[in-house]
């Protein structure tokens, strides 16, 4: 019988993956200018990054140590900044994360997930 922490980690990894994919969906064919001008898009992204960061912060130390190439602390830190410094969000930095960092996070997380038939 698998360890319950493994199940929790799998659920949290799935949350990260699904919500990162949603970020890509909502920003597809959009620009930084769109993001800076569209309050609805900002609210959506705040919510999605909050979930991603919260899930990352709750992963077990064992999983994090097995995947040291993933910047778990920075992912959780982004959530902290969005939630606690909500009036100072740097949308240009968020856009850069979406364009440059999110695709590799998704690609790294995908193989960590159990096959779909096991979810």
Distance CA 38, CA 25 (A): 15
Q: How far is CA 86 from the centre of its chain?
A: 17
79 is catalytic: yes
Q: Other C-beta atoms within 10 Å of 53: how many? A: 23
Out of 28, 68, 84, 119, the active site residue is: 84
* Residue from 69, 62, 68, 72 nearest 16 by CA: 72
Out of 79, 80, 81, 110, the active site residue is: 79
12 is catalytic: no
Catalytic positions: 79, 84
């Amino acid at each position: 019988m698998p360890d319950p922490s493994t199940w929790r980690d799998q659920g949290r990894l799935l949350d990260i993956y699904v919500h990162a994919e949603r970020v890509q969906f909502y920003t597809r064919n959009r620009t930084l200018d769109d993001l800076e001008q569209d309050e609805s898009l900002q609210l959506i992204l705040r919510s999605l990054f909050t979930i991603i960061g919260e899930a990352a912060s709750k992963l077990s130390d064992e999983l994090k140590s097995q995947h040291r190439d993933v910047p778990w602390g920075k992912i959780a830190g982004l959530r902290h900044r969005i939630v606690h410094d909500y009036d100072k969000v740097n949308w240009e930095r968020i856009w850069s994360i979406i364009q440059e960092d999110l695709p590799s996070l998704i690609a790294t997380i995908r193989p960590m997930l159990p096959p779909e038939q096991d979810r």
